[in-house]
Amino acid sequence: MKLAGKKALITGSAKGLGKRTAMELASQGCNLMLHYMASGQEAEALKEQLQQHGVEVRLAQADLSNPIGVDQLAAEVERWGGGVDILINNAGPFVRERKLFQQYDRELITSLIQGNLISAMLLDHHVLPYMRSNSWGRIIHFGFGHANEARAWPQRAVYAAAKTALVSFTKSLAVEEAPYGITVNMIGPGDIKGEYKEMSIHEVMSNYDEENPIGRPGTGEDVARVIAFLCDNKSSYLTGNIIDVTGGFDPIKANILQK
């Protein structure tokens, strides 16, 4: 198995895209730390499922929308043999309700920036020494489709600002860490809805999605397969990239047109 013996932390991995990513990496022999905030039962169930692959699975609870939670998770990573080989920053608060920036309160603005940008930066900072010591590491950030273009996204101003800032940080960190055998990339998922986030490609092949250019819904497996490729030992020449996994769908343009 390609990732046998590697250790990975996936934030927000009890459900959704994080869960599907954990399933993909476990199938390749990767040991996992599953992070969750409030989904303890789901995390326990996933742990039992993944252990069937013969991998080690640990659980860690933390609220990454505040610095204390980030420190708690970093401490759990430190206790796991000093660090991880792979860090996937998937967790990040998102407000479904569309609202103008003026309608946000200060607490929500701060939590969105902390959860989507600062927490990822701080976790990266924590895992880098371990990765450098091994001359090998994989860091993957989650953005959104077309984040690399930094376009206007009305009613999503704070979330978009945090993720587009993360785009720049991804590219900068990739250049800095390349000499140490560490790659840093970003995944930009498209509009993968609800239960599709945990489904396989096979399960949706007969489903029609009129909004998507390829004609079918996106799935968690679509995203997880790209992440697994980036984690492969032979993917060391691919770094500093923002990879859209959208099926050609433009989530920003679609949201604007709906208004």
| pLDDT value at residue 256 | 52
| pLDDT value at residue 258 | 52
* CATH number of the domain encompassing residue 12: 3.40.50.720
CB 35 within 8 A of CB 12: yes
DSSP 54: T
Is residue 58 included in any domain, yes or no?
yes
DSSP 195: G
Is residue 194 included in any domain, yes or no?
yes
Q: How far apart are CA 47 and CA 24, in angstroms?
A: 13
| pLDDT value at residue 212 | 87
Is residue 172 included in any domain, yes or no?
yes
Burial class (CB in 10 A: 0-12, 13-18, 19+), 28: middle
Q: How far apart are CA 34 and CA 10, in angstroms?
A: 6
Is residue 113 included in any domain, yes or no?
yes
Is residue 57 included in any domain, yes or no?
yes
Give the global pTM: 0.94
| pLDDT value at residue 95 | 87
Q: State the residue range of the domain holding 63.
A: 7-258
CA 96 to chain centre: 18
Structural domain count, the chain: 1
**In the chain, which residues have pLDDT < 70?**
251-259
Is residue 2 included in any domain, yes or no?
no
Is residue 1 included in any domain, yes or no?
no
| pLDDT value at residue 220 | 96
pLDDT in tens, 229-239: 999 999 999 99
| pLDDT value at residue 1 | 80
